[in-house]
Structure 1
């Protein structure tokens, strides 16, 4: 389903673009999938009702981790993303020995409904089960038909070191590869999609095996807007502690791939 030939024929240019991108390494790939198959995959997606666990920082956002169940085309996409062929491409583009999580823990189909938003954040850094897998990349495939900038919901990336930021458009069949690092903030502002249309994407993550941990393991770090309520800012400040405490007694939803 992935347009492998296109990627492989342009792999050096993709690598150069990714490594030189600002505010931190990222890459936009349009026409990532075969269009006819992706159209059929899109047609198989129902309205989701499983609300995001990050409900305090993500308004009206819904998820389905096992999206491959929905259609043969989405199963093919899932399989292609985890394939050795795609891993080899990612390694060349990023100049790192990376691989896609074959079980896609924490990833899946994401659907932002009316007035959806996602506060700026840093993702969890080490895998919830394989504790020495360091999260190097977010791979975000967007499925927004006939998307226009006035619909809002573009992916905002921001460097925590410099405060430099950029907003990336999120049209149908666009893959955005984004570096994950202790400074790579991202999120999106409140959407304005037409009635019955949703901000839709498939999220997949790539890792590198670390012989020694280079960072303290964390869950998501949230950076709500300066105009956010006192309680929201307080929750963001204590979020890691609260989630780690919850996981100790009840287990991690991400580890269970729910």
Structure 2
């Protein structure tokens, strides 16, 4: 039975060409899919997207990123929850396997690293390669990331294009505008560098909104690497040093969290207070 939410018939019909383009893409395998949701589903998802002041947002507020996430689908509206379920369902997972050439993908309803994301005016996400394993299943290797953009309108002058950088971090090789109902699919690896490092210039009250999901494969010995934030050549020595120091601190925190059972909420509260002090300064 066709999904009432995702345009699977159209996506599947274009799969042979899309798969070939995906695997040949530079600087790493990826593709951009437009109009992924049906018009009705997209309109409903946009209407349900939590407001900027919703209490369930959790802030990631530090040198390398200033964004908010909600990884609890039970707090989402019914369309957003149903869309996420469709993206975790066998039909869509099989589609991703054929698109990417990666077999035995595992969807992740726990939203480890995923969920709903929003970035406000002035926010950013430095160039990085993603954390390589699941935080609760250390033998699960992250293999594929999807980003579904959920803004009804996003003007080019607001910034926020996702930059795609080469393995050596010497040059930007592409960019993706976060147009509504657009999905970026890409293979996650130790050097799939991406981000939107320049502050957003959208109007106050607007936000760069998306739904993110990761897909994994089970490995006997998955290699754990923390999120690898990297400076661009134009960022300069001072910013580069800050990016490196923040990356190191986050890796130490992640290791401590695993060993000591710390909760993200505690640390995010500290980070939020530090961010407020920075703004006052």
TM-score, length-normalised on structure 1?
Answer: 0.89
Tell me which of 229, 239, 245 is aligned to 1:234.
245
Aligned pair count reads 251
Give deviations 1:100-137, integer Å, cap 9, x for gaps: 21332221111111111011112110111121111011
> Quick one: which of 72, 80, 86 aligns to 1:80?
86
Aligned counterparts of 1:120 and 1:91: Cα–Cα separation in 2: 26
Deviations 1:45-90 (Å, cap 9, x if unpaired)? 222453433533112x111112453222111101101000001000
* Rounded Cα–Cα distance in structure 2 between residues aligned with 1:54 and 1:137: 25
Counterparts of 2:248 and 2:156 in 1: how far apart (Å)?
A: 32
Conserved 8 A contact 2:229-2:243: no
The SS at the match of 1:147 is: coil
> Over the residues paired in the alignment, what is the CA RMSD in angstroms?
2.0
Q: Which residue of 1 aligns with 2:20?
A: 16
Candidates 180, 183, 189, aligned match of 1:175: 183
Q: Hey, what does 1:192 align to over in structure 2?
A: 201
Is it true that 1:249 corresponds to 2:260 in the alignment? yes
2:213 — aligned with what? 204
Q: Against the structure 1 CA distance between its residues 159 and 7, is the aligned structure 2 distance closer, same or farther, given a 3 Å change threshold? A: same
Distance in 2 (CA, whole Å) between partners of 1:252 and 1:136 is 26
Is residue 2:155 matched to residue 1:144? Answer: no
Query: Structure 1: 5+ residue runs without aligned partners?
Result: none
Q: Which residue of 1 aligns with 2:98?
A: 92
Q: 1:110, 1:200 within 8 Å by CA — same for their partners in 2?
A: yes
Report the 3-state secondary structure (helix = DSSP H, G, I; strand = E; otherwise coil) of the residue aligned with 1:184.
coil
TM-superposed CA distance for 1:156, in Å, is 0.9
Q: Which has the higher helix share?
A: 2
